[in-house]
Amino acid sequence: MIIADRKPIEEIFEMIKEFDKILIVGCKGCVTVCNVGGAKEVDILAAILKIGRKKKQKPLQIDEKTLERQCDLEYIAQIKDTVNKYDAVLSMACGVGLQFLAEAYPNQKFFPAVNTKFFGGATAHGIWEERCAGCGICIVHYFGGLCPIARCSKSLMNGPCGGSAEGKCEIDKNVACIWDLIVRKKMEHERLDDLLDITPAKDWRSAKDGGPRRRECKELIK
Amino acid sequence: MNDMKSGSRLEKVLKAGHFAFTGECGPPKGANVEKLKEKMSPLKKNVDAVNITDNQTAVVRMASLAASAIMVSEGMEPNYQMVCRDRNRLAMMSDILGAYALGIRNMLCLSGDHQKFGNHPEAKNVYDIDSMQLISMVKQMRDKGEFLNGEKIDDPPRLFIGAASNPFADPFEFRIHRLAKKIKAGADFIQTQCIYNMNKFRKFINMAVDMGLTEKCYILAGVTPLKSAGMAKYMASKVPGMDVPDHLIKRLKDAGKGKVAEEGIKISLEQIEEFKQMKGVAGVHLMAIEWEHRVPEIAKRAGMLPRPAV
Amino acid sequence: MSEVFNPQILAFCCKYCAYAAADLAGSMRISYPANIKIIQVPCTGRVDIIHLLKAVEDGADGVYVAGCIEGECHFVEGNIRTRKKVEYVKEILKELDIEPERIEMFNLSSAMGPRFAEIANEMTKRIIKLGQSPVKNNKGAK
């Protein structure tokens, strides 16, 4: 799941201050699941913006629409007849959705109402944590199903470092040291030997470091 | 050079079986060469080699490469430290060649504190390779004469490779294996994090001896003199991976006004005596943080002077 | 001579406790301000963030939610969840530079007729002190 967080209200007001008629577009995908950009949150944001603008005596007309997904050309086509009727559009989807919209409708101005943060999942109701860094070559099976690239602050592949204390990362007491977990898991399964060989330097070409990425499914391409 | 890996003074001292004694020096927060030379001078002839830190605690200081080169020109031997936080493999290999070209012969490969601790927490995290991979890379450059990608190096750097070990970090049971791993990767010498819990360290070094690690690698025990009970308490609670027993804090508290610093030095001297006798310990690494001017006195009182001729 | 400010206050009351208490206050002939407009809900858990915001948007000077005593919610936890929503809306109001005290949550049992009236009086006094909602149209109604 792509996890995002709503931008501070101040920032959103600043983005739309010149406009009087806007569309807020939500997404039923990841941002609905992480309670930040679905239909419910679109409603709430619309109410907040209207209250703020009413207070400033500069009323704002807001229309709302929530699409199945904003990262799909078929779904974003659904707003093609109305999208240009607004001064601007606020998208509550992740950075992907926003860019799909901007590319599909080059004559309209799109603004992000959320900050896209990471790939993660809900570890408890209302709490989401990062799990994957999208490095392009998955190796979690070497580490007991735990990813050191995404979950170690230093992305160590031969950890832990000397800053691991009581199972916590040196950067924050609330952050678990993933290497502590990896080592303990290996010890529990009596597979500590797995960690005694040196994991060689990573090839970062498959990650963002190698440039913007693309995937093709040849049998589907027309 | 015969069977010397680097021919550095530190290597010669350890190989000859002498008890090594190294110090530490942090470069200035500026290009102030005079200040750097001032900091270094109390260490001259009192230690075998001096660690030059690399943006320690992620605070920007003069490059360890430059400060190490200045130290060489002053007739002293640096232990050039490199952390993985700020450089990718290209910059690292490039700096390593530069270091060797400038007369540097010892190198320490460290992970580095996260930039969150430092004065530029907004910086991008590099960590292209980790300390284990760095050790292995330097060994490949030295022994195979190859860059990481296998290409030949024109006049390979022959450095004495060092690494750090923290016997007190978690998980404790794994620390000895991590030490073994670093030695397998190519570490020639190890400096430990500063030790206060002698019992715990004794256990650790015994394990190292039993595993045959001390025959493959020279282990130097870290010592940092405690200046006050406050410092001891701070290290015990605020520095990750630090183990300071209560009886030491008490000793400092009970020392009496004006006598605390002396008590701190006494504790360090007692430790150094013990390390001299401890099987598996090849030397001591003294980290007299912001107390460099007391190093000559400590060296003398610890019976470390004169340093052996090699 | 200053005009009397008659605040418009919305009260979301749960059927099992708060609304029952309101009924009781009525039968006990305890009076409470007529400004309070009661909306009955099966449980305060039914009240969502959007309801509170809409009330503010439409010009309510004050809004409160009255539910069962914590631990005694007829639907187990509805009141506890809604307290969190009320706290969230207070934070939003702060960010909008509107007094967070305009929104509140209260807990009482169905037997507490007098308490219901007390709450109504308390909120009315509070809102009169705070004045008209800054969201109301300033053209027209003073």
pLDDT at residue C139, as a whole number: 47
Cα B9 to Cα B22, B37, B217, B307: the distances in Å are: 11, 20, 16, 11
Query: Any contact of A with B, at least 3 CB pairs below 8 A?
Result: yes
In a domain, B308, yes or no: no
The predicted pLDDT at position C140 comes to 38
Cβ separation A48–C53 shorter than 8 A: yes
**Ordered domains of chain A (ranges, CATH):** 2-118 (3.40.50.2300), 133-210 (no CATH)
Give A-chain residues touching B236 at CB under 8 angstroms.
Answer: none
Q: Can you give the residue range of the structural domain that contains C76?
A: 30-130
> Are C53 and A52 inside 8 Å of each other by CB?
no
Distance in angstroms (rounded) separating the CA atoms of residues C11 and C32: 13
Nearest to A47 among C54, C95, C137 (CB): C54
ipTM score of complex:
0.92
pLDDT tens by residue, A61-104 = 999 999 999 999 999 999 999 999 999 999 999 999 999 999 99
**pLDDT at res. C1:** 46
For B43, which DSSP code?
G
Asked if the model's pLDDT at residue C138 lies above 90, the reply is no
Domain assignment of residue C46, yes or no: yes
Inter-residue long-range contacts of B58-61, CB under 8 Å, 24+ positions, other chains counted: B58/B85, B58/B112, B58/B113, B58/B114, B58/B115, B58/B116, B58/B117, B58/B118, B58/B119, B58/B120, B58/B121, B58/B123, B59/B29, B59/B118, B59/B119, B60/B29, B60/B118, B60/B119, B60/B120, B61/B26, B61/B27, B61/B28, B61/B29
Residues of C in contact with A8 (CB under 8 A): 95
* Residue B13 counted as domain residue: yes
For residues A108 and A93, give the distance between their C-alpha atoms in angstroms, rounded to a whole number: 16
Rounded to the nearest 10 degrees, the angle between the axes of helix B172-185 and helix B131-139 is 20
What contacts B149, CB < 8 A, 6 or more positions away?
none
pLDDT > 90 fraction of chain B, expressed in percent and rounded: 87
CA triple C48-C51-C54, angle to 5 deg: 145
Helix or strand holding residue B208 (H, E): helix B198-210
Quickly count helices (H) and strands (E) in chain B. Answer: 12, 8
pLDDT tens readout for residues C76-113: 999 999 999 999 999 999 999 999 999 999 999 999 99
Residue C132, both tokens: 């008209």
Tokens of A154: 């230093």
Range of the domain at B289: 9-301
Tell me which residue in A9, A43, A57 faces C50 most closely, judged by beta carbons: A43
Which position has the token pair 């190292």?
B208
* Mutation target vs A (from C50, C52, C80, C81; most A CBs, 10 A cutoff): C50
Q: Establish if C101 belongs to a structural domain.
A: yes
Res B91: pLDDT: 98
For residues A175 and A193, is the Cβ–Cβ distance under 8 A? no
How many domains does one find in chain C?
1
Asked if residue C1 is part of any domain, the answer here is no
- Which pLDDT belongs to residue C137? 67
H or E element that contains A126:
none
Per the domain annotation, does C2 fall within a domain?
A: no
Examine residue B87 and state whether it is found in any structural domain, yes or no: yes
Taken in order A98, A102, A103, A105, the sign of the CA dihedral is: positive
Closest-CA residue to A198 (of B155, B109, C102)? B109
Could you tell me if residue B107 is inside a domain?
yes
pLDDT under 70 in chain B at which residues? 1-2
- The number of distinct structural domains making up chain B is 1
Return d(Cα A38, Cα A157) in angstroms, integer: 37
At B296, which CATH number? 3.20.20.220
pLDDT digit string, tens, across residues B79-102: 999 999 999 999 999 999 999 999
